[in-house]
Amino acid sequence: MHLCELNIRGWRNYEELRFTAEPGVNLIVGDNAQGKTNLLESIVYLGSGRSWRTQKSAELIRFGDAFADLEAKVFSEGREQTLRSVIFPGRRPRQLWRNGVKKKSAGELAGVLNTVLFCPEDLLVLKSGASARRKLGDMALCQLRPNYDAALAEYNRLLEQKSKILKDRFEQPAWLDILPEYNLRLCQVGALLISYRARFYESLGKAASVYHGQFSGGAEEFTLDYHTVSTVADPFASVAKLTEDLQSHMESHARAELESGQCLTGPHKDDFDVKLSGLSVKTYGSQGQTRTAAISLKLAQRELMKRESGEEPVLLLDDVLSELDPSRQDFVLNQISSGQVFITCCEQGRFTKLGQTIQIRKGQIV
């Protein structure tokens, strides 16, 4: 699959931008703060209905504009297709179209324009806090599995409401009556999330270990372990069993939740750990090991998407190559010789011969 044409209006610092993309490498060059990342963000949004940078639609709309309008022509599933997102500030719901037909949810866009984003923060993802790793997994899983996307949205909504009930337990004690209902649903939906995650992380770890093995010349063995709620003995168990496991953890924390006024149990604290030859990267990884393992994870994510849909997702490398030494740059570039790639950087340097160059200044092509 590849993006053919992009037309964006009122998005971030773009008043209007229109360009035709190469099916191969597109190099987006510009000084700092000119709109390179904003451009990649619009591509991610068109494909997935979400941004990795914010959940607030108002931030996506150009200061002073009433709405943002994104349109793309995409070649995917053997034909030309169109995607469009119109985003409003505040409570007014956004509008999503696929081939001119209005869609209710982002899940219905799945499969037209899959993207894998790789940015400098991702290079440190194995050293950062758990939330960065969850976000990485969620962004990938939501694109791969529309049902996961829907379940995650429901889970987050329930969790937010439960947090409010717990927070206001003294002012609104009557709300506590509906807490058991929320808890049950949280366990049911949470069990579904765990079930998806267990399978996804297993495949991701296997694919990443192949890349890491190639890069380290087989010297290090890459393994990935998924961690969830402690009462879950087997994350591959049936959803019914997982629901029971979550309920038992929740029951044992019920008092503590009421005392602290916080949600203390559930898969919103999930994490994963990567080990190299048995040593956790988070604790022991050197800079180089941490980066190589992160690259392996990203390439694995791209491969899983390709395996699922039969099409190469669009790869977006945001400033990441300039953060790598030449040997890691070459490793990444060799692995991405096929498919469409957008690479942002401040200077063209050695990448200029890779494909078409788009120069951006103040939200415009120069």
Q: Which residues bind ligand ATP (CB under 6 A)?
A: 12-13, 30, 32-38, 59, 61-63, 319, 346
13 vs 262, which CB is nearer to ligand ATP? Answer: 13
At 91, give phi and psi (nearest 5°): -90, -15
36 vs 212, which CB is nearer to Mg ion? Answer: 36
Which of Mg ion, ligand ATP, none interacts with 33 (beta carbon under 5 to 8 A by kind)? ligand ATP
Q: Mask 84-123, x = binds Mg ion (CB under 5 A)?
A: ----------------------------------------
Least Å distance, CB 315 to ligand ATP, is: 17
On the CB side of 137, CA atoms within 13 Å amount to 31
34 vs 296, which CB is nearer to ligand ATP? Answer: 34
Element (H, E) at 192: helix 179-215
Residue 283 amino acid letter: T
Answer yes or no: are the C-beta atoms of 229 and 266 closer than 8 Å: yes
Position 42 contacts Mg ion (CB under 5 A): no
Selected from 6, 11, 14, 37, the binder of Mg ion by CB under 5 A is: 37
39 vs 246, which CB is nearer to ligand ATP? Answer: 39
Which of ligand ATP, Mg ion, none interacts with 13 (beta carbon under 5 to 8 A by kind)? ligand ATP
Answer yes or no: are the C-beta atoms of 90 and 35 closer than 8 Å: no
Answer yes or no: are the C-beta atoms of 109 and 47 closer than 8 Å: yes
Contacts 24+ apart (CB under 8 A), 227-232: 227/270, 227/271, 227/272, 227/273, 228/194, 228/197, 228/198, 228/267, 228/270, 229/190, 229/194, 229/265, 229/266, 229/267, 229/269, 229/270, 232/194
At 311, give phi and psi (nearest 5°): -125, 145
41 vs 270, which CB is nearer to ligand ATP? Answer: 41
Least Å distance, CB 59 to ligand ATP, is: 6
Q: What angle do CA 85, 87, 93 make, to 5 degrees?
A: 105
Q: Mask 219-258, x = binds Mg ion (CB under 5 A)?
A: ----------------------------------------
**How many chain residues touch Mg ion (CB under 5 A)?**
2
Interacting residues with Mg ion (CB under 5 A) = 36-37
